[in-house]
Amino acid sequence: MPSSSRSAKDFFAPLAVGAPAPVREVPARPSRAIHFFDPSNEKMAAKIPQMVGTVDVLLGNLEDAVKADNKLAAREGLVRIGRDTDGLGGPGGTTQLWTRINSLDSPWALDDLTTLVPAIGHRLDVIMVPKVQGAEDIHYVDRLLAQLEARAGLERPILVHAILETARGVANVEEICGASPRMQGLSLGPADLAADRRMKTTRVGGGHPGYLVRQDPPTSADGAADVGADRTTYQQDLWHYTIARMVDACAMHGIYPYYGPFGDIADVVACEDQFRNAFLLGCVGTWSLHPKQIAIANKVFSPSVEDIRHARRVVAAMGDGTGAVMLDGKMEDDASLKQCLVLVDLAEELAA
Ligand code: GLV
Ligand code: MG
């Protein structure tokens, strides 16, 4: 997608109720790993300058996981980092700077926005809004940002990313994606979503050993099922439905879907599996809660050398893009060409 040349002023016009979703041009910048840090944690904050250039996105988290007593210190810490860190955020940044503000029903969200935008709005690429329930939450943030940007004389609009972590948010996912031309993407918030849905899990993302299907029992010659026999079980993906809904809504509105947090830092194997499922379903990236998850995300959300090589062979074999060809015994046609172009385009964006 081409880079946006819109200025902050373009975002000041309210969206007409019932108007069709505007055609948006979200700047395509790699964001395979959105690495979370707590700006109130001095040890973590001190490491940020060395991380610039090693990860696609650094996100200063102000919301959950930051203690209530540290909210002010986190906000101030993020302002310092945004002001003082070379190469972080803004048009020339080698790593994007995002923040997750506090939720709109908390006492902190307004101060987060009114502090950050004047101080480091020129560096902030994306604001992640948690617990988004519907288009009205995005409209509120959109209008507030437009005022703050105009007052600060910012030329470049700050984009908005919503976390889907309530049942109502999931029900309204399409209207959330289309609520503002600022919308950059959506992430799954599996922990809050599980609680809101009254799921019986206690983890942050990932699977559950109890959510499984069992192979049918073997039957004897007379057709009787031996329900006592040993049978293989297969763990199912708790998040498939929500991610598929997110992916469709994002595709419909031309914005980007992301997985979210995977809280079991030690289980790098399950983390990689969960991220890969999301990538294959259409997500472009995920959150990283520990530096070791950055490498996993970069690997998983970049197409493999073999996949790119195969995709390029299909593109070449398809010539003018119409008709069908046989390649390695498989039929390829216009639709397989389109799938291959998704991988080729992604490889080119990541290499740019
Ligand atoms: C993330 O915010 C989550 O609730 O999983
Ligand atoms: Mg949450």
Query: Any bridge partners for residue 331, and if so which?
Result: 326
Contact 35, 76 (CB under 8 A): no
Nearest protein Cα to ligand 1, atom 2: 189
Mean pLDDT of 213-231: 94
pLDDT at 299: 97
Total-model pTM? 0.91
pLDDT at 3: 36
Mean pLDDT of 154-160: 95
261 lines ligand 1 (CB under 6 A): yes
Question: Rounded distance, CA 320 to CA 322, Å?
Answer: 6
Percentage with pLDDT > 70 across the chain: 92
Question: Rounded distance, CA 239 to CA 325, Å?
Answer: 36
pLDDT at 27: 65
169 lines ligand 1 (CB under 6 A): no
Q: Is 192 known as a binding-site position?
A: yes
Question: How many Å lie between the centroid of ligand 2 and the Cα of residue 77?
Answer: 21
User: Is 70 exceeded by the pLDDT of residue 230?
Assistant: yes
303 lines ligand 1 (CB under 6 A): no
pLDDT at 313: 97
337 lines ligand 1 (CB under 6 A): no
Q: Is 100 known as a binding-site position?
A: yes
Nearest to 79 by CA among 92, 97, 96: 97
pLDDT at 342: 95
Question: Rounded distance, CA 182 to CA 146, Å?
Answer: 10
Nearest to 29 by CA among 55, 7, 11, 9: 55
Best mutation site among 204, 242, 243, 288 for ligand 1 pocket (most ligand atoms within 8 Å of CB):
204
Question: How many Å lie between the centroid of ligand 1 and the Cα of residue 165?
Answer: 7
How remote is the C-alpha of 134 from its chain's centroid? 18
User: Is 60 exceeded by the pLDDT of residue 21?
Assistant: no
Question: Rounded distance, CA 237 to CA 211, Å?
Answer: 8
Q: CA torsion, points 103, 106, 110, 115, in degrees to nearest 10?
A: -80
Q: What is the mean pLDDT of the chain?
A: 92
Percentage with pLDDT > 90 across the chain: 91
User: Is 90 exceeded by the pLDDT of residue 181?
Assistant: yes
DSSP annotation string for 173-187: HHHHHTS-TTEEEEE
Measured from the alpha carbon of residue 36, the closest ligand is 1
Question: Rounded distance, CA 48 to CA 31, Å?
Answer: 17
Question: How many Å lie between the centroid of ligand 2 and the Cα of residue 61?
Answer: 11
165 lines ligand 1 (CB under 6 A): yes
CB-based neighbours (< 5 A) of ligand 2, an ion: 165, 189, 192
Question: Rounded distance, CA 303 to CA 16, Å?
Answer: 39
User: Is 90 exceeded by the pLDDT of residue 22?
Assistant: no
Q: CA torsion, points 109, 250, 285, 197, in degrees to nearest 10?
A: 60
Q: Kind of pairing, strands 330-332 and 256-258? A: unpaired
Contact 95, 58 (CB under 8 A): yes
- Residue that the structure tokens 């899990």 belong to: 201
Buried b (16+ CB within 10 A) or exposed e, 58-89: bbbbbbbebeeeebebbbebbbebbeebeebb
Counting from 1 in the atom list of ligand 1, the atom nearest the Cα of 205 is 5
260 lines ligand 1 (CB under 6 A): yes
pLDDT at 352: 83
Lowest model confidence (mean pLDDT) among 2-6, 153-157, 200-204: 2-6
Q: Kind of pairing, strands 325-327 and 330-332? A: antiparallel
Q: What are phi and psi of 52, to 5 degrees?
A: -60, 130
Question: Rounded distance, CA 107 to CA 91, Å?
Answer: 31
Nearest protein Cα to ligand 1, atom 3: 189
Counting from 1 in the atom list of ligand 1, the atom nearest the Cα of 163 is 2
206 lines ligand 1 (CB under 6 A): no
**R_g of the chain computed on alpha carbons:** 22
Q: Kind of pairing, strands 124-129 and 96-100? A: parallel
Nearest protein Cα to ligand 1, atom 1: 189
204 lines ligand 1 (CB under 6 A): yes
Measured from the alpha carbon of residue 261, the closest ligand is 1
pLDDT at 5: 39
56 lines ligand 1 (CB under 6 A): no
**Helix 291-300 to helix 268-281 angle, to the nearest 10 degrees?**
40
pLDDT at 30: 85
192 lines ligand 1 (CB under 6 A): yes
pLDDT at 62: 98
pLDDT tens for each residue of 234-291:
999 999 999 999 999 999 999 999 999 999 999 999 999 999 999 999 999 999 999 9
AA identity, residue 75: R
| In 70-178, alpha helices (H) | 71-84, 109-120, 135-152, 167-171, 173-177
Mean pLDDT of 51-62: 97
End-to-end CA distance of the chain: 13
Question: How many Å lie between the centroid of ligand 2 and the Cα of residue 108?
Answer: 15
